[in-house]
Chain A
Amino acid sequence: MSIALFLSVFLIAACGLIYELIAGTLASYLLGDTVFQFSTIIGCYLFAMGIGSYLSRFLHRGLVARFVSIELMVGVVGGFSSSILFLAFAYTEAFRFILYAVVILVGTLVGLEIPLLMRILKERFQFRELVSHVLTFDYLGALGASLLFPILLVPKLGLVRSALVFGIFNVVVALWSTYLFREQIGRSHILRAGSVVVLALLGTGMVFADRISSAADNSLYADEVIFSRNTPYQRIVLTKWKDDLRLFLNSHLQFSSRDEYRYHEALVHPGLATLPGAHRVLVLGGGDGLAVREILKYPSVESVTLVDLDPEMTHLFSTHLVMSALNQHSLTNPRVHVINADALRWLDANTEQYDFIVADFPDPTSYALGKLFTTTFYRLAAKHLASGGLIVVQSTSPLFARQSYWCIVESVKQAGLRVYPYHVYVPSFGEWGYVIGSFAPYEPPRQLPSGLRFLSTTNVAELFIFPVDMQPVPAEPNRLNDQVLVRYYEQEWKDVAH
């Protein structure tokens, strides 16, 4: 009997600690800044337990029934805590609020458990013995949980399932209590029925756990988050794993520091290296400054104008120690002028001409972004080309989104430009496509700046050769009144994901 009782203490203590660890892990996983997240969550949780302990004095009658109900509540809230938090992060703007609300709710309920249990047990044991046993098992449970969590639970079960499993333990304790204290309890069948319902709920959660994680997965990152900010325009997230830095905008990978040189060398040099007299360069998008870094390798370039929508993005890549080192401080170079503006509107409102234009926008995942891949956009951009100038466009993957890629090529063509499509393999992206648009015939460069890591005069011409599985397919041009690209793109990436 007493072993069974103290095993309950062990279990509920373990459950309590697990929920706390899950909240802390999730917060630092999703928001970064581990020290801050763990400190504040442990603090709030302990404080909430204090509130629970204080509130326990207001419970007078039917202590066992109360205890069982509290176990069931902890089981539900704690069991679903990681599911709720994942989904809140993926689908709401109120993640922090929900995070601390869950922490305080679970903490308060857990804080009620031990004082209630001690009062229930006070008739059966001497006070000295009771305090000693309960606290011993309480701390043992905490130890068990804290060892189990990193070694077994996170790697084997994952956060969603771990929480659910411990929610089930809470319900088991509840059910067990209705049996252990059957003399002290009135309507045990109602509580048992409640337990069964909660158990079923948690069981269903286990069945759908994978779906919950994958529903939230778009917003999740495999590596440690070192920077995360919601700007009025997008969610910027930087992750780091060993020497690999990754930038995500709205959960879409923009680059990995391990292979971004392939992407950016291929974006800039095939075009710019053929323009020995290029003085003025325009970069649209590309607030990470990595394309600008490549452009600055040409001494002939007198000025680079970078137009990016998001001031926080260009600020981050101008000032952040690691990020500005990656772009070799390109954004603070005196030759570079940063303008924060909407690219299409900016092109419409200005008349300057450029020898080389780079359009480096995120993929057309929405009609809003799709505007930057329309015939209207390329027509406007072409008006800004100096005679003999070139434009290069990042054009998504010709392998995974083949029709989307050729749709972009067709759209550039419809703007009255000759098109020169090419592609490159970037390990973190896969096969990636670009297209050069030009009024005059174009030929790949015979000379390149020194110090490139990927491109050479021997392989640059090969980029323009498309293997059979990436060769042209029929595609309509993408127009403002009929954005076929957004629909092609959605369909093709959906097919890749399945």
Chain B
Amino acid sequence: MADFSRREFFGAPALIGLWSKTDRKITGSFVNDSFPLGHRLRDRSAFRAPAQQLRVPIVIVGGGMAGLNAAWHLDKRGFRDFVLLEMERQAGGNSRSGENEVSKFPWAAHYVPVPAKGESLARELFGELGLFRYGKWDERTLCFDPQERLFINGHWQEGIEPEDGATPRDRAQYRRFMDKINEFRATGQFTVPMERGARPSPLDRMSMSDWLAQQGFDSTPLRWYINYACRDDYGAMSKDTSAWVGVQYFASREPEEKGPLTWPEGNGWIAARLIDKLRRYLRTGEVVYRVVQSGNRVRVLTEATEYIADAVIWAAPTFLASYIIEGVPPADGFQYSPWLTANLTLDRIPGQKNAEPAWDNVIYDSPALGYVNATHMSLATHVDRTVWTFYWSLAEHTPGEARRLLLAQDWNYWKEAILNDLARAHPDIRQCVAHMDIMRIGHAMARPSPGFLFSEERARWLKPLGKIFFANSDLSGFSIFEEAQYRGVEAAKEAVHAVSRA
């Protein structure tokens, strides 16, 4: 007993000291959860009948990048008779963003590679937004140096391609891989947007990792790097990604300027500019729960209004169509990776071990994708608080498993998982984070599985259904800004054509 009380006497204060140091209170919650509404649509739950009817030539369903760019195109060519319906309170879809007292920050998409010469649509929009003038890109939007870094072997290296610890054999494979990519680039089949160049190819019938094995690429860091690229852009491991799309990631880009284009709030900057231009067409919080073709018209039902349209641009994810549009078969071939993003507010910058924070910070061998620093694009030479956006595509699971996991675990579980991951590179992370909001997206990005891109199913969805034109980026097989923009604008062109014929 005496022994116990003495230990208690000496031990307790020490333990309390330890506890208060490591377990700093971190506030936060899940935010922007969209699955309750999604599940109501999926389950065809009862919605109120519309209160009024409105005749409008074109209805755009979905206010993400595809819908916003469809609207941008219509408005630009002087077509003003349309509405843009968004079910969430904030338009922007995967380009939504947030803001707190420290910084603006993205919720998902956070950059656009500098559009090459052939990418006329993207150049047109960015020119209009003042980012591209007299052949020069705005220097405050081109990602500041240092762009990327990788935590490997206990320290940070510049760039994400693993250099530290790479053997001459690894380096030889890096070079040979880039040679291969250059050959692919020279074919002209790997373009942005993909539709311009894509030709049916046996590459799409195998996975990226199978193609690497077939070509004799067995370097561990090279395979890590390519797997990282697939997880980052498609939410899938390289073994679950079409080799054609894997090659596309590397071979489609030929930037004339060191980029990418980025903003503290990520692509939320683009979304905000488009929303500003298109405010008078935009109706947020309007859930389209039924779309019915009747005669030459299409009826679009929300709880507020029944829109009687001549044409509909379906810019929402394609898989939702079968739940909402009458008589549409399920889009079973379309797969989506779920994502988890977290915004961490840091009121202290973690120690950097003589390295400078980069914009994109990746940890080698982490299951997650790393974090982007929101204050990187600030002109300040010194910041003492910042926001990090942490990305996790849960690619090692099947999409279904990952979605179940996302819903099953509470905020605290994910908060701990994120902190543990970051602690590999930042042991003091728990003393720096004050707040963490986490966003779960069940169907975040299209997952280009082998065989999908040149499948009959995708070809079917590329065609309109009567007067309904499909526009989501998932029709390209992967969700990036340029594909959304291209699909949105193409659908808008077709819709205008259909309406003018009517």
B and A form one assembly: yes
- CB within 8 Å for A367 and B146 given contacts A342-B380, A345-B378, A348-B379: yes
- CB within 8 Å for A480 and B382 given contacts A367-B145, A486-B145: no
Q: Is B404 an interface residue when CB atoms closer than 8 A count as contact?
A: no
Which stretch in A52-60, A368-376, A461-469 binds the other chain?
Answer: A368-376
- A480 vs B380: C-alpha distance in the bound complex, in angstroms? 12
Asked if B382 and A342 make an inter-chain contact with CB atoms under 8 angstroms apart, the answer reads: yes
- Over the window 104-142 of chain B, the binary record of Cβ atoms lying under 8 Å from chain A Cβ atoms (1 yes, 0 no) is 000000000000000000000000000000000001101
Chain A contacts of B146 at CB under 8 A? 367, 483
Q: Specify which of B142, B145, B258, B356 lies most central, judged by the most chain A CB atoms within 10 Å of its CB.
A: B145
B331 shortest CB reach to chain A, Å = 40
Asked if A482 and B379 make an inter-chain contact with CB atoms under 8 angstroms apart, the answer reads: no
Q: Is A300 an interface residue when CB atoms closer than 8 A count as contact?
A: no
Asked if A342 and B381 make an inter-chain contact with CB atoms under 8 angstroms apart, the answer reads: yes
Asked if A369 and B142 make an inter-chain contact with CB atoms under 8 angstroms apart, the answer reads: no
- CB within 8 Å for A481 and B139 given contacts A367-B146, A368-B356: yes
Q: Is B57 an interface residue when CB atoms closer than 8 A count as contact?
A: no
Chain B contacts of A370 at CB under 8 A? 145
Q: Specify which of A233, A482, A483 lies most central, judged by the most chain B CB atoms within 10 Å of its CB.
A: A482
- CB within 8 Å for A481 and B142 given contacts A366-B356, A367-B356, A368-B356: yes
- Over the window 376-420 of chain A, the binary record of Cβ atoms lying under 8 Å from chain B Cβ atoms (1 yes, 0 no) is 100000000000000000000000000000000000000000000
- A247 vs B126: C-alpha distance in the bound complex, in angstroms? 47
- CB within 8 Å for A481 and B382 given contacts A367-B356, A368-B356, A486-B145: no
Asked if B381 and A232 make an inter-chain contact with CB atoms under 8 angstroms apart, the answer reads: no
- A483 vs B258: C-alpha distance in the bound complex, in angstroms? 11
Chain B contacts of A315 at CB under 8 A? none
Q: Is B339 an interface residue when CB atoms closer than 8 A count as contact?
A: no
Asked if B139 and A309 make an inter-chain contact with CB atoms under 8 angstroms apart, the answer reads: no
Chain B contacts of A342 at CB under 8 A? 379-382
Looking at the complex, which one of B140, B356, B384 makes contact with A480 (CB distance below 8 Å)? B140
Asked if B259 and A481 make an inter-chain contact with CB atoms under 8 angstroms apart, the answer reads: yes
Q: Is A192 an interface residue when CB atoms closer than 8 A count as contact?
A: no
Chain B interfacial residues counted at CB < 8 A: 18
A398 shortest CB reach to chain B, Å = 23
Asked if A309 and B382 make an inter-chain contact with CB atoms under 8 angstroms apart, the answer reads: yes
Which chain B residues in 423-460 approach chain A with CB under 8 Å? Answer: none
Looking at the complex, which one of B259, B378, B379, B381 makes contact with A369 (CB distance below 8 Å)? B381
- A342 vs B142: C-alpha distance in the bound complex, in angstroms? 21
Looking at the complex, which one of B142, B258, B259, B381 makes contact with A371 (CB distance below 8 Å)? B381
Chain A interfacial residues counted at CB < 8 A: 24
Asked if A480 and B381 make an inter-chain contact with CB atoms under 8 angstroms apart, the answer reads: no
Q: Is A171 an interface residue when CB atoms closer than 8 A count as contact?
A: no
Asked if B139 and A479 make an inter-chain contact with CB atoms under 8 angstroms apart, the answer reads: yes
Asked if B378 and A480 make an inter-chain contact with CB atoms under 8 angstroms apart, the answer reads: no
Chain B contacts of A233 at CB under 8 A? 382
- Over the window 318-349 of chain A, the binary record of Cβ atoms lying under 8 Å from chain B Cβ atoms (1 yes, 0 no) is 00000000000000000000000011110010
Chain A contacts of B382 at CB under 8 A? 232-233, 309, 342, 368
Chain A contacts of B259 at CB under 8 A? 481
- Over the window 422-435 of chain A, the binary record of Cβ atoms lying under 8 Å from chain B Cβ atoms (1 yes, 0 no) is 00000000000000
- A481 vs B142: C-alpha distance in the bound complex, in angstroms? 6
Asked if A344 and B356 make an inter-chain contact with CB atoms under 8 angstroms apart, the answer reads: no
Asked if B356 and A371 make an inter-chain contact with CB atoms under 8 angstroms apart, the answer reads: no
- A367 vs B382: C-alpha distance in the bound complex, in angstroms? 11
Q: Is B263 an interface residue when CB atoms closer than 8 A count as contact?
A: no
Q: Is B68 an interface residue when CB atoms closer than 8 A count as contact?
A: no
- Over the window 355-389 of chain B, the binary record of Cβ atoms lying under 8 Å from chain A Cβ atoms (1 yes, 0 no) is 01000000000000000000000111110100000
- CB within 8 Å for A343 and B384 given contacts A367-B146, A368-B356, A481-B145: no
Chain B residues within CB distance 8 Å of chain A: 139-140, 142-147, 257-259, 356, 378-382, 384
Other A-B pairs beyond A375-B139, A480-B145, 6, CB < 8 Å: A344-B380, A367-B144, A367-B146, A371-B379, A481-B145, A481-B257
10 residue pairs, one from A and one from B, having the closest CB atoms: A481-B142, A483-B145, A344-B379, A342-B380, A368-B381, A480-B144, A482-B258, A345-B379, A481-B258, A376-B139
28 A-B contacts (beta carbon < 8 Å): A232-B382, A232-B384, A309-B382, A342-B379, A344-B379, A344-B381, A345-B379, A348-B379, A366-B356, A367-B144, A368-B356, A368-B381, A370-B145, A374-B139, A375-B139, A376-B140, A479-B139, A479-B142, A480-B144, A480-B145, A481-B143, A481-B144, A481-B145, A481-B257, A481-B259, A482-B145, A483-B145, A483-B146
